[in-house]
Amino acid sequence: MTRLLNNSIIPLFNYFEPSVIQSFFSIPLQAIFIYIGDLTMSTTKYREFNQLNLPTIEQEILAKWAENQAFEKSVSLREGAEPFVFYEGPPSANGMPGIHHVISRTLKDLVCRYKTMQGFQVKRKGGWDTHGLPVELGVEKELGITKEDIGKKISIVEYNQKCREAVLRYKDKWDELTTKMGYWVDLKNPYVTFENEYIETLWWCLKRLYEKGLLYKSVSIQPYSPAAGTGLSSHELNQPGTYKDVKDTSAVAMFKTAKNGDSQFLFDAAGNDEVFFLAWTTTPWTLPSNLGLTVGGNIDYVLVKTFNPYTHLPVNVVLAKNLIGKYFKPEGENGDFAGYTAETKLLPWQILAEFKGKQLEGLRYEQLLPYEANTPEKSGGDPFRVLVDSFVTTEDGTGIVHTAPAFGADDYKVGKKYGIGILTLVDREGKFVDGLGEFSHRYVKNYKDEQNYVDVNVDISVKLKKENRAFKVEKYEHSYPHCWRTDKPVLYYPLDAWFIKTTAVKDRMVELNKTINWKPKATGEGRFGNWLENMVDWNLSRSRYWGTPLPVWRTADGSEEKCIGSIEELNTEIRKANEVLGGDVNKHYLHDGILDLHKPYVDEVVLVSKDGKPMHREPDLIDVWFDSGAMPYAQWHYPFENKDAIEKGTAFPADFIAEGVDQTRGWFYTLHALGVMLFDNVAYKTVVSNGLVLDKNGNKMSKRLGNVVNPFETIGTFGADATRWYLITNASPWDSLKFDIEGIKEVQRKFFGTLYNTYQFFALYANVDGFAFKEAYIPIDQRPEIDKWILSSLQSLVKNVTENFNQYEPTLAGRLIEDFVDEQLSNWYVRLCRRRFWKGEYEHDKISAYQTLYECLETIARLMAPVSPFFSDWLFSNLNAVTGKVDETSVHHVLYPKAKEEFIDLGLEERMQLAQDASSLILSLRKKVNIKVRQPLQKVLIPVFNSSMKGQLQKVEDLIKTEVNVKEIQYLTDTEGFIKKKIKPNFQALGKKLGGKMKAAGVAIGQFTQEDIALLEKEGTYSLLIDNEPLILQLNEVEITSEDIPGWMVANKGILTVALDVTLTPELESEGNARELVNRIQKIRKDNGYELTDRIMVRLADSEFVKQSVSQFDEYIRTEILADKLELVDGLIDGTEIEVNDISLKIQVTKSIN
RNA sequence: AGAUCCGUAGCUCAGCCUGGUUAGAGCACUACACUGAUAAUGUAGGGGUCACCAGUUCAAAUCUGGUCGGGUCUACCA
């Protein structure tokens, strides 16, 4: 189905009507034709648009990609190039994708696109995780059955068929997201974990582990989910959200000490009254299975005389000394025993004896809850004794641990050591077995979501209370593991299971982990490192139906076993068994061999041992995490195919993988474990783990809270590019991201809007002038200063962006691009250069401007392509369609820019910064005195402190003058003497030298007079006394700035100070008016809807000030407004009324006729 | 309970590694301006005890220790 669908895309274009294509892609027809018309063919005009619409652009680009098979081409173009190996972590398609999938996939995509543009070949095989519990539970729910019904109400064949269908239920949605968000991954030939070939590789892996002695069977106490009916692996238990705070009924039970020689010392101290051991439990349901009490050997215990708070009977209890405070109040010590009644609130107590835990070892006690099912004989050991072990602490409870070997790993271990036997009084559904009186058949937790569930733990506690066997019963809130799928509490349960002995390679895993580049670093060292240090063997077994079967066959007595590593091997064994065992054995599989490696077929296969005994398959399935952990090999059907790809390093290990941080103990772990165990190698060289996506208030997104963001809506409304750009640039991928739609809007407006405007500006004028980059590339040294500058900045940008991408820091890279586009390119270069595009002839300077802006835009398109693949391709194609500079039809096929170091001129970038600062200061001064920029001013003074500063400023002088509309800049050196200066210590330099005297020096320097400063500047040094010690102050140990120029408007920023002459001469005013006139007429031109190039005729109502301006600036005005004629008319009646400096006049604008 | 990351303007984030004296940017808000790129842009303004406490230092948002709050993870925890 998968293949059919995807392979069909291309033929569709060829054979069907456009309307079919349209409905298939839900793309407006127009878009398809536009692109066919405008993008595939070269054209002479740059495309112009009314407004930016990212979603439309994206649809257009998607259609183009589909038509050109752009993704496939991006891989095939690099055939023979060095491979960059990427692994796609397989998603499970049985749930809807969410916005958090968009961030990790953006991350993966951008790295792959970047590396492709760096010249690597990046194959990206998609994949689907198809086995496992989520699928099974979904099917059970859908069919309204439980695990018990499988094989009864529904056959395993049918059930597995349902699973096979259900698992790709949302595949279409996933594919749609993949396409719409612009994630390039091979969806046509994905690896699918349920396919035979995939499973065959898994079997090969298992057999290899088996041969290395790393696969073994053992009984162990494991987390078990009665609700799901399966054991859980440690990584499943380590899924986020499994540990939840729950309130359980906890009980401190009283175990009655048996009187014998060993315990006599207790009874002596207690005056031969009853003595009880106090033991705490949060799971009273384990009490019937109690077989021991464990104490710490070196812990101090006490015997306390008191009353039972429920029955008010006098009792003597044993507990850890440190924990007395938990049960007794200090003021009750040695209290009034005689006067104690049921109403007494304060419990009197008295310590009768104190002893170490080891003195209690071997003491016996009476069984707490005896029934038919838990007689000592049934335990198979010698139960009801006090045991000693080191796991006991005095942080909680009583310091005496109730020990039920079946239901705790520690309990099992210590129980085995002492031989107290084992009782498993709860069945696999989570209910008590027969023979436990009133508790028989009751669920120990509410596994079935019964409305009227009565907590058996409460009933047990009540019973204990009544029988004088409970000392304290209370609700206790603690965190308890829950099944990650069913949300029901897990219990620990003795199970037979197959394990991978990961602990055997722990050291090697730790060692190799140190060679992995983790982003962020802390995850690898801390979270993953700690996890490796504390690793336990990997429990592979799952008692379910839909999954990879364990390929191990055993004789009934377990004396012989066989691990199968390939289909061929299995078929051979099948025939052999039939020959040896005869009859109907394997008769269904003799002819064609086995066709499906799943249950129930594999279970029907009987193999034969060396000595002719039948062997049956171990019934377990394996952990789905093994499926995904083995994907590097299984996706290529290694070693049955593609042997070299794995062994010669072209497909293993991965150069890069990325997933959510929640995969640290999941996929990242199993990949690593298998890489180390199978090939003694890392499975990936770099791993990026991204953080969670939270809602805008910082809460986790969950269906329950209803704050889940639908990625389709977001992408549909704002575009994939804006979404991707936002997700990447807002916060580092590994920080958790507070997702806010407003942020995407901002990105769209500020970054894409600005860049789009810049392109639009370019297209507008380039079309007028017919610029198609046909002229020779103008050497950089023949371009004006500002072109040199923007190109220098651009190359610095290329360099920095590349560095950041190489470091897997896309956030920083994106922010740099953003800054460049907004600050440098749009708001400085284009703004200052506007006139160059619309004025003058099409010659050197103008061509230089076009070439420069073109280069910037084209380079930006390439730089941003990894993060926002659509807009960049659109921009790139629009440009290239006219110039045809490169042959590739997509930005994703070209190479990433390489920084042209020779273009970088840091001095130039520095002085442009000076120009920007100076302009900003001057504009702020204009603002202060309320003089419009349109009004020319005569002069600016800038104090300079050295010749280099002056030189720098002089080179950008024209830019400043134009920008702020000032006629001249005058540089002041201190020889003029009327600058008021300010001096400040250079703390960094001086602090190191002076240390403790810094403060005093600071005060002294602050008191410098203008003369002192002048002296220091002249001499270069200055002597002063600090704390009666001489100090020779160097010029470089202070910062001297000009503070004020008396009589001038002054502003400063850092070292730069500007002073503005705000005197308005009639001359200047007249020029200002001329500019006002130009402005008004331009507005009228625009309102009238004239073309940029239309010539006009203007008639102005005559008046005094108009006469002044027009007579003086007639030519200037006419050039600006493209007027053939500008005349003053008396008594003009018709025309537009305008206002210039509070004077209104009439004006008439008409098109020239020619 | 431990580990780890985080806490800077109403919001999103820089700055912290390498301590240096007016703590920055964008958004939002207010006012004014500019504009043949115009749903853009500029200037100005309000808005911060850099979570808190202590220490080191001449000097702390920055280094150290602790406290509080939040996230994530771990845990045999009876």
Q: pLDDT digits over A701-750, tens only?
A: 665 556 677 889 888 888 899 999 988 888 777 777 778 888 888 888 88
Q: Residue A577 belongs to what H/E stretch?
A: helix A567-581
Taking the C-alpha atoms of residue A325 and residue A346, their distance in angstroms, rounded to an integer, is 13
Among candidates A542, A534, A530, A541, which has minimal Cα distance to A503? A534
| A431: Cβ contacts below 8 Å, ≥ 6 apart | A441, A442, A443, A444
Taking the C-alpha atoms of residue A1045 and residue A1059, their distance in angstroms, rounded to an integer, is 7
Rounded distance in angstroms from the CA atom of residue A395 to the C1' atom of nucleotide B1: 9
Rounded distance in angstroms from the CA atom of residue A956 to the C1' atom of nucleotide B30: 34
Q: Is A404 helix (H, G, I), strand (E, B) or coil?
A: coil
Among candidates A945, A898, A784, A754, which has minimal Cα distance to A852? A784
A700 catalytic residue (yes or no): yes
Q: Is A405 helix (H, G, I), strand (E, B) or coil?
A: helix
Tell whether omega for the bond before A97 is within 30 degrees of 0, i.e. cis: no
A262 catalytic residue (yes or no): no
Residue with tokens 């990584």: A235
Contact between residue A295 and residue A388 where contact means Cβ atoms under 8 Å apart: yes
Residue with tokens 């005896």: A370
Q: In the numeric block, which tokens belong to residue A452?
A: 């009227």
Q: Residue A837 belongs to what H/E stretch?
A: helix A831-838
Specify whether the backbone of A200 is left (phi greater than 0), alpha (psi in -120 to 50) or beta: alpha
Burial A1033-1046 (b: 16+ CB within 10 A, else e): beeebbebbbeebe
DSSP A758-810: HHHHHHHHHHHHT--S-SPPPPGGGS-HHHHHHHHHHHHHHHHHHHHHHTT-H
Q: Is A655 helix (H, G, I), strand (E, B) or coil?
A: strand
Task: Give the pLDDT score at A1.
Answer: 28
Q: How far is CA A135 from CA A143, A190, A235, A787, A1028, in A?
A: 12, 19, 18, 60, 84
Rounded distance in angstroms from the CA atom of residue A950 to the C1' atom of nucleotide B21: 28
Residue A240's nearest nucleotide, by CA–C1', is B73
Q: Residue A828 belongs to what H/E stretch?
A: none
A65 catalytic residue (yes or no): no
Rounded distance in angstroms from the CA atom of residue A764 to the C1' atom of nucleotide B43: 29
Residue A699's nearest nucleotide, by CA–C1', is B71
Annotated active-site residue in A222, A239, A359, A663: A663
| A951: Cβ contacts below 8 Å, ≥ 6 apart | none
Rounded distance in angstroms from the CA atom of residue A527 to the C1' atom of nucleotide B50: 29
Q: Is A87 helix (H, G, I), strand (E, B) or coil?
A: coil
Q: Residue A1138 belongs to what H/E stretch?
A: strand A1136-1140
Rounded distance in angstroms from the CA atom of residue A943 to the C1' atom of nucleotide B23: 28
Taking the C-alpha atoms of residue A116 and residue A894, their distance in angstroms, rounded to an integer, is 9
R_g (Cα) of chain A, nearest Å: 41
Residue A927's nearest nucleotide, by CA–C1', is B43
Contact between residue A682 and residue A689 where contact means Cβ atoms under 8 Å apart: no
Annotated active-site residue in A413, A700, A745, A799: A700
A90 catalytic residue (yes or no): yes
Q: If you measure CA to C1', which residue is closest to nucleotide B41?
A: A827
Annotated active-site residue in A97, A121, A129, A519: A129
Contact between residue A825 and residue A863 where contact means Cβ atoms under 8 Å apart: no
Annotated active-site residue in A345, A610, A648, A703: A703
| A406: Cβ contacts below 8 Å, ≥ 6 apart | A221, A289, A412, A422, A423, A424, A425, A426, A493, A494
Specify whether the backbone of A27 is left (phi greater than 0), alpha (psi in -120 to 50) or beta: beta
Q: How far is CA A608 from CA A30, A613, A615, A616, in A?
A: 68, 5, 5, 9
| Chain B footprint positions (protein CB, under 7 Å) | 1, 3-5, 11-14, 20-22, 26-27, 32-44, 57-59, 70-78
Annotated active-site residue in A285, A484, A546, A625: A625
Q: In the numeric block, which tokens belong to residue A47?
A: 């495309």
DSSP bridge pairs for A446: none
Taking the C-alpha atoms of residue A1051 and residue A1044, their distance in angstroms, rounded to an integer, is 8
Q: Give the CA dihedral A129, A134, A138, A139, nearest 10 degrees.
A: 70
Taking the C-alpha atoms of residue A515 and residue A687, their distance in angstroms, rounded to an integer, is 11
Rounded distance in angstroms from the CA atom of residue A810 to the C1' atom of nucleotide B15: 19
Taking the C-alpha atoms of residue A722 and residue A726, their distance in angstroms, rounded to an integer, is 6
Residue A987's nearest nucleotide, by CA–C1', is B20
Q: If you measure CA to C1', which residue is closest to nucleotide B39?
A: A749
Annotated active-site residue in A280, A498, A667, A789: A667
Strands (E), A334-380: 350-356
Strands A1056-1061 and A937-943: antiparallel
Among candidates A911, A908, A916, which has minimal Cα distance to A964? A916
Decide: residue A680, CB within 10 A, 0-12 exposed, 13-18 middle, 19+ buried: exposed
Q: Is A588 helix (H, G, I), strand (E, B) or coil?
A: helix
Rounded distance in angstroms from the CA atom of residue A750 to the C1' atom of nucleotide B29: 18
Taking the C-alpha atoms of residue A136 and residue A133, their distance in angstroms, rounded to an integer, is 5
Taking the C-alpha atoms of residue A548 and residue A206, their distance in angstroms, rounded to an integer, is 11
- Is the whole-model pTM more than 0.90? no
Q: In the numeric block, which tokens belong to residue A958?
A: 């024209």
Q: In the numeric block, which tokens belong to residue A98?
A: 């969410």
DSSP bridge pairs for A1050: A1059
Low-confidence spans in chain A with pLDDT less than 70:
1-42, 233-236, 238-241, 485, 526, 695-707, 974-978, 1054, 1142, 1154
Task: Give the pLDDT score at A18.
Answer: 34
Taking the C-alpha atoms of residue A639 and residue A637, their distance in angstroms, rounded to an integer, is 6
Q: In the numeric block, which tokens belong to residue A222?
A: 């494991």
Contact between residue A1103 and residue A1143 where contact means Cβ atoms under 8 Å apart: yes
Strands A693-694 and A737-738: parallel
Contact between residue A907 and residue A952 where contact means Cβ atoms under 8 Å apart: yes
Q: If you measure CA to C1', which residue is closest to nucleotide B32?
A: A927
Rounded distance in angstroms from the CA atom of residue A692 to the C1' atom of nucleotide B71: 10
Among candidates A112, A108, A41, A30, which has minimal Cα distance to A63? A30
Determine the distance from the C-alpha atom of residue A681 to the mean position of all C-alpha atoms in its chain, rounded to a whole number: 26
One-letter identity of residue A676? V
Residue A734's nearest nucleotide, by CA–C1', is B5
Give pLDDT tens digits for A527-579: 787 778 777 788 888 888 999 999 999 999 888 999 999 999 999 999 999 99
Strands (E), A502-605: 517-519, 538-539, 541-542, 552-555, 561-563
Residue A1085's nearest nucleotide, by CA–C1', is B36
Strands A561-563 and A684-690: unpaired
Residue A526's nearest nucleotide, by CA–C1', is B4
Residues found in chain A: 1154
Contact between residue A95 and residue A134 where contact means Cβ atoms under 8 Å apart: yes
A625 catalytic residue (yes or no): yes
